[in-house]
A and B are shown apart, each in its own frame.
Chain A
Amino acid sequence: MSGTFEARNKVAIVGYAQSQVVRRPTEPLGVTTIRTAREAIADAGLKPQQIDGFAASALMPTSGGHEAQDGISTVSPAWLAEHLGIEPAYAVGFQGHGQLTGSLTLAVNAVASGAADYVLLHRALHNPPAGKYNDNPMTEAAGMMQWCAPQGFFGGLPAIAMVYTEYCQRYGATREAMAHVVTEARNNGAKLPWSYWHGKPITTENYLAEPVIVDPMCRLDCDIPVQGVGVFILTSAERAKDLPNKPVYMSGYANGYPQRHRLPLHWTLDDMEEAGQALSARLWEAAGISREEINLVQPYDAFSPFVYIWLEALGFTPLGEAHRFILDGGIDASRPNSIAALSGGGAIGNGRLHGLPQLLECYLQLSGRAGQRQRNVSNAVFSYSAPYFGGAAVLTNTP
C-alpha cells in the first residue's frame, strides 16, 4: 500500500475493559478473558449476540518450559467466541511477533471490509503459578538456539542490552536519563487501580541504587510478568454514532518486519533505526496527518530502551536525542504540553501486557475517559514491540 489508508477514520473503538493485573493467576486465563470481554461488550452498549467478529494473537502469553493450553494459559479467538456462546461470522488470529498491533490491524480490516460489524479484540497474558517466566532448563541447543545459547546469549534481556550499550556509547545517554523514563512509568502506573504496581511509586534514588544484572540493564528496566487481559470493541464510524461512548477512530497503522538475517534475538541499534524510519514513513502517510498534529505518544516500553528507540523512530526527536529530550521534561505527564509518553504507565508501570497499556491510554485519553489523568488531546500514536517485529497506529477523536 502507498498513500493514505483507505479505511482512514472509518473504523472506531467504541468500548473497552481492562482486567485487574495480577502477578500469579487465581483462575484460568479463559475465565478472566470471558469476564473482561463481557464487561467490554456492555461498556460499548452492546449485547453479546451483536458481536460477530473476533481478533487476537495468542502467541507468547508466556514463555518457558510449559505447554500453552487454550482457555487455561492462552485464549484463541475461536475459544473465546465459543465460550461466550457466540457463533461468529469471522474469527481471526494474528501469527508471529507484533501481536497487539498485528491483531488490531486484523480487527480494523475486518470492520473496514464488512467481514464483521462488531469486532472484539482481546489480548490475554498468562504468567504461570510458579517458577520464573524465562527460566530454562536447557542443556542442549538445537535449531536456531544452537547459534546463540551455547555461548550464553539467550532471551530478550541480553538482546536489548546489546542495543542499549551501543546507544549509550554512541549518543552519550546516561543512567540518569533512564531513571527519568522508569520513574515516569512507575509513578503513572502507581495511580492506576488495575495496575500490578498500583500504589507503588519509585524514586530516582531507587532506580539508581538498583544493581545492573545484564549491563547496562537493571531489573527496573524490565516489565514484570503478570496475568492480565484487555479487550476492545471495534465497529464502523457509522454504527459508532449510535453507541454511548465517544468513538476513537483508527487513522492508520504500519507494521514492521525483519530486514536483515541475524542470529536469533540478535537485535542491533542499526537495524532498529533503519526499520523504525521505514515504518514511521509508512505510518504517517497511511494516517494522513503529520507528527506535529500528535499530542499524545505512547511508545512500547517492555524494556525501557524501547522508549528511546520509538520516540526517535516515530520522529519525535532526532536519532540519538531522545534521552536529552526526556531529561528536559519532554515526556513528563505533569506538564500539560508534553507528549506524556508514559501517562498510561506503560508495561513498566502496569506489568507485562504486551502493548495493551499503550493502546488503552490512547483510547481513554481520546474518548475523554481518563479521569484525573485526562489531557486535552485530539490525535495519538502508540507503538508495540520493536520497529521490525511490531508496529504502530495513529488514533483520533477528531476525524
Chain B
Amino acid sequence: MTGHILPVPDEMSAPYWDACSRHELKLAHCSQCAKVTHPPDVTCPNCHSIEPDFVWKQVSGHGRVRSWTVIRQSFLSGFELPFLLVDVELDDHPDVRLIGRLIDGADTPLTLGDAVTLTFDDLAPGVAVPAFVMAGKS
C-alpha cells in the first residue's frame, strides 16, 4: 500500500496490532461494562471505570460509510496519491467509527450508508492496518 508510517505499539495497543498482523480486527471491550471502545484509553469512556481491564475480542468489521475524503495532497510523506479514506460506522458497534483506506480506488463512487467490509493493508512484514472494501467486491 500506500504509506511508510508504521504504528509503534505500546502496552495498551499491542493486542490490537498483534491481531492486525494476522489480519484480524480486535477491539477493546471493557471488563466492567462490556462495551467496546476505540481507541482504548486509560479509563472506559462508557462507564468511566478506572480499571477497564480491556478484553480484546474479534469483530466482523462490517460497516456503513458515514463519510469519506480523497487525499490528493498529503502533509505526510511516502503515500501514493490519490487515495480514498472512508469513515466507517461498524454494524455491530455503531458507537465505534474507524477510518481506513478504501482499496477499491480513489475514484470509487460512494453514497452515505454504502456497505463495506474489512480488509487489511500490509505496511511491512508483520505490520498491517485495517482498510475497507466495498461489500460484495472482495
Contact = CB atoms under 8 A, between A and B. Distances in A.
A263 B75 contact: no
Given A138-B5, A261-B45, A266-B99, A152 B71 contact: yes
A215 B75 contact: no
Given A142-B10, A146-B9, A263-B99, A151 B38 contact: no
B70 A215 contact: yes
A257 to B, nearest CB: 13
B61 interface: no
B49 interface: no
A140 B10 CA distance: 13
Interface size class, chain A:
35 or more
B75 to A, nearest CB: 4
B7 A141 contact: yes
Interface stretch (A161-169, A243-251, A348-356): A161-169
Contacts of B39: 144, 147, 263
A263 B99 CA distance: 8
Interface in B4-63: 4-10, 13, 17, 37-39, 41, 45
A154 to B, nearest CB: 5
Q: Across chains A and B, which 10 residue pairs bring their CB atoms closest together, nearest first? A: A261-B45, A142-B8, A161-B69, A146-B7, A166-B67, A215-B70, A213-B73, A134-B75, A162-B67, A147-B39
A242 interface: no
B138 to A, nearest CB: 18
A19 interface: no
B8 A140 contact: yes
A137 interface: yes
Nearest to B73: A213
Interface centre among A149, A162, A212, A217 (most CB of B within 10 A): A162
B6 A139 contact: yes
Interface in A140-179: 140-144, 146-155, 157-158, 161-163, 165-166, 169-170
A269 B97 CA distance: 13
